[in-house]
Each structure stands twice: as structure tokens, then as C-alpha cells.
């Protein structure tokens, strides 16, 4: 059996990177939240299994793409707290991308069906 090469990047890390914008948009589609609140909500809803260590680059990218906007800001303990809200364009993107995700997930599931882990 060949040794698996360790590239330093796990499947899970790639998966989170690809799906984190969707997770953020989905959580924020319920109501505007600030960064720490969003992190805690993701952690709670996923039972601690889906955590983002680099949330702000995701938020900034979604804002640049006009999928999020800052709906309000406040100062708490001397620090600015921005509340992020999903825009209509963000809701459309989320709806479309979730449909694509469901389709490709189903196809992938079919490809993996009946595999027993043994070589042919």
C-alpha cells in the first residue's frame, strides 16, 4: 500500500474554504450579526464541527462582491462592532449556489455508492 503524501492541506480544510461563504451567507440570512456573534452561531449550529478561524477575509470578500453590507455599527467597550446583513444579490447567490451544491453533492454521492474500500 502506497504511503499517502502529506501536502499540509486536508480535504476538510479545502471543503471549509470552498463552503465558508455559503455558511456565512446562510447564517446571516436569518438576521444581521457582528463577527464574533457569527462565529459563535456557526459553532453552535454545527455542534462545534464547523469553525472558521479566518472569518473576516470571507466577510470582506462577500462585501466586495455586494453579497453583504454593513447594516449598522456600534462602539462597545471602545471597539467598533459592524453588523453584516445579506443583500438581495447575496440571497440570489446563496439560492443559486445551494441548488448547485445539492446537485453536485448528489452526483458525488452516487459516484461513491457501494465502494467497500478494497482494491479491485
Q: Is the dihedral of CA 65, 70, 30, 61 positive or negative?
A: positive
For residue 59, being part of any structural domain is answered with yes
For residue 119, being part of any structural domain is answered with no
Q: Could you report the per-residue pLDDT of 68-116, keeping only the tens digit for each?
A: 999 999 998 998 899 999 999 999 999 999 999 999 999 999 998 877 7
Structural domain range at position 69 = 13-112
Residue 57's CATH number: 1.10.10.10
Under a CB-based contact definition with an 8 Å cutoff, are residues 94 and 85 in contact?
A: no
Pairing relation of β-strands 68-76 and 79-86?
antiparallel
Q: Could you report the per-residue pLDDT of 2-32, keeping only the tens digit for each?
A: 445 555 678 888 888 899 999 999 999 999 9
For residue 5, being part of any structural domain is answered with no
Look at the chain and report how many structural domains it folds into: 1
For residue 4, being part of any structural domain is answered with no
For residue 3, being part of any structural domain is answered with no
Within 10 angstroms of residue 25's Cβ, the number of other Cβ atoms is 23
Say which residue the cell 449556489 belongs to: 97
pTM over 0.85: no
Amino acid at each position: 500500500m502506497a504511503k499517502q503524501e502529506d501536502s499540509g492541506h486536508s480535504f476538510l480544510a479545502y471543503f471549509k474554504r470552498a463552503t465558508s461563504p455559503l455558511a456565512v451567507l446562510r447564517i446571516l440570512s436569518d438576521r444581521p450579526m457582528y463577527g464574533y456573534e457569527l462565529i459563535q452561531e456557526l459553532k453552535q449550529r454545527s455542534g462545534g464541527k464547523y469553525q472558521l478561524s479566518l472569518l473576516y477575509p470571507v466577510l470582506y470578500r462577500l462585501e466586495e462582491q455586494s453579497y453583504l453590507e454593513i447594516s449598522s455599527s456600534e462602539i462597545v467597550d471602545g471597539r467598533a462592532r459592524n453588523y453584516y446583513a445579506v443583500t438581495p444579490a447575496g440571497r440570489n447567490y446563496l439560492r443559486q449556489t445551494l441548488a448547485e451544491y445539492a446537485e453536485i453533492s448528489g452526483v458525488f454521492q452516487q459516484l461513491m455508492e457501494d465502494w467497500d474500500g478494497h482494491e479491485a
